[in-house]
Structure 1
């Protein structure tokens, strides 16, 4: 069963407090999403570290229930 966009957003926000999260369903199949995550917690971190923080927030669902997630991460300007 695919993950709902709201569930993805909730998990990221729970794992990265204060994050602004926008989720888009890329294929309409509930399996392929894009996420834009803006968080102060990302400041000073590499892009790889930022993405690892998002994957950690998803608690092992990435690659399983959540098949594909295109990530765009940044610290607030």
Structure 2
């Protein structure tokens, strides 16, 4: 069963409460998403570790309910999330 975008956002925000999350359904099938996550929790962490934090937030759903997630992570700055 596909995973809803709002469920992905909810899980990420539970794990990273200050996160700004933007999710796009890439194929319209609820199975292939792109997500941009902005959180101060990423400060000083390499990109791989930032992505691992997001994947941990998804509680093992990657590869099952959620087939593909193109992930962009960054630390907050003055630029707004698009």
TM range (shorter): over 0.9
Give the whole-Å Cα distance in 1 for the aligned partners of 2:9 and 2:45.
Answer: 21
Q: Which runs of 5+ in 2 are unaligned?
A: 78-82
Q: Which runs of 5+ in 1 are unaligned?
A: none
TM-score (norm 2): 0.92
How big is the shift at 1:5?
A: 0.3
How big is the shift at 1:68?
A: 0.1
The answer on 1:22 being equivalent to 2:12 is: no
Give the SS at the match of 2:22.
strand
Give the whole-Å Cα distance in 1 for the aligned partners of 2:9 and 2:62.
Answer: 13
Give the whole-Å Cα distance in 2 for the aligned partners of 1:41 and 1:5.
Answer: 22
How big is the shift at 1:17?
A: 1.2
Give the whole-Å Cα distance in 2 for the aligned partners of 1:62 and 1:17.
Answer: 20
TM-score (norm 1): 0.98
| Count of aligned pairs | 77
Match in the other structure for 1:49: 49
The answer on 1:38 being equivalent to 2:45 is: no
Q: CA RMSD in A?
A: 0.4
Give the SS at the match of 2:7.
helix
